[in-house]
Amino acid sequence: MSESDEDPELDDDLDTELGDEEENNEEGPEEEPDAGEKGSDGSGGFEAGDGEKKPEPKVLPQETPLTAEMIKGGISMLCKTGDGLEVAYVKLVVQNRELTNVFILSTYIHLRYVDLSFNKLTSLFPLQNMRFLVSLKVTNNKLTSPQMSNFPFLQFLDLTGNPLKSTKGIKQHSLEKLILSKTQLENLEDMTTENLPNLIHLNITNNALKKLDGLEHRTLKTLYAAGNKLRNLSGVSRLTSLSRLHLRDNRISSLKGLEEDHETLEYLNVRSNNLEEVEEAYHLSRMKKLTTLVIADNAVSDSDSYRVDALVYGRRLQRIDKDPVEEEERQEAAELYPQREEERLLAEREAKERPPDEEPDQDDLDSQRDDDDEDRDEEDD
């Protein structure tokens, strides 16, 4: 039997129980004992102190369960079941109903596409029997963990707007697209190839991440990490299959970390960061497939020659910001290359010859940046 079938015997039992309750209610209210039985002051034998308030009854949180009527209004797409022997509805959309539990879904094992967005769910445990689930969208609920059953066919998962703060416990072996935007993430845990071996697309935008060190995905091709607090690109070097990297609106001051093992990267967006030095263009040199660079709204892009400076090492670029590369810019970059390379090698040699005590302490720099970040956050608030 599919989940769309109803059992009339269950309805009959429910009607019988309700009928019994109504008959009991018709017997009339119980007689109130007179005040003398409760104590001379009518307080039931207890004397309240002067000015003492009676405790207010505890108010339990209101439960709003998913009902059969709601399911009837949101279920669709009649298909054959997994074994091919029956037919069942496989799509369910129930949004904006302030749902607090979906226990009724524990028997809807044939659902493949589920959308329970804009509710108040704290657990997805009732969904664990949906072994054919392909797409799950539970945005803007109250989930605090991405940990759930490993659905063998789940390819798409969207948890946008839930207060997760961490990715600890996540494990979905068939998942290809994961969206964790606006989930208050502060760190990335268990985001490995072992736990997510088929992940291709990851969206972690608009969180509180300061680094990407927790990411270890050889399969990941698209990463959206805009709107975080990233200061550097540590961790990106392990994402060796990336073709699209979106890092807009962070606090990145260097492109170091992109020059190694990123021969597949085609699109890079670092708009509105803290890039200041023209030498950062050197890190584009080993990205042999990079055709699009978005670098506007950085200090380095204030220069009139920033496009040519980027082309000095990003020779395969076809577009910088919104405009395509002109052949005249490409020729100018080729002529400028020997000078830029000489300047780079000289700076590198001077850095090696500089005494260690003159090198800025990385911990001090990070501490200062943390202070600056906190000041900036307070100003934003």
pLDDT tens for each residue of 219-238:
999 999 999 999 999 888 88
pLDDT at 100: 97
Pick the more confident residue, 2 or 179: 179
pLDDT at 39: 42
275: amino acid identity, one letter? L
Pick the more confident residue, 83 or 226: 226
Domain range 209-353, CATH architecture: Alpha-Beta Horseshoe (3.80)
CB 87 within 8 A of CB 81: yes
Q: 């263009």: which residue's tokens?
A: 281
- Lowest mean pLDDT across 57-66, 111-120, 245-254: 57-66
pLDDT at 41 over 60: no
User: For residues 195 and 360, what is the distance between their CA atoms, to the nearest angstrom?
Assistant: 38
pLDDT at 357: 62
Confidence of residue 18 (pLDDT cuts 50, 70, 90): very low
What is the arithmetic mean of pLDDT over 42-61? 56
Pick the more confident residue, 60 or 274: 274
| Chain-centre distance for alpha carbon 261 | 26
Q: What are the domain boundaries of the chain?
A: 209-353
pLDDT at 85: 86
Q: 């050197």: which residue's tokens?
A: 282
Per the prediction, the chain carries an average pLDDT of 83
pTM of the model: 0.78
| Residues paired with residue 113 on neighbouring β-strands, in sequence order | 91, 135
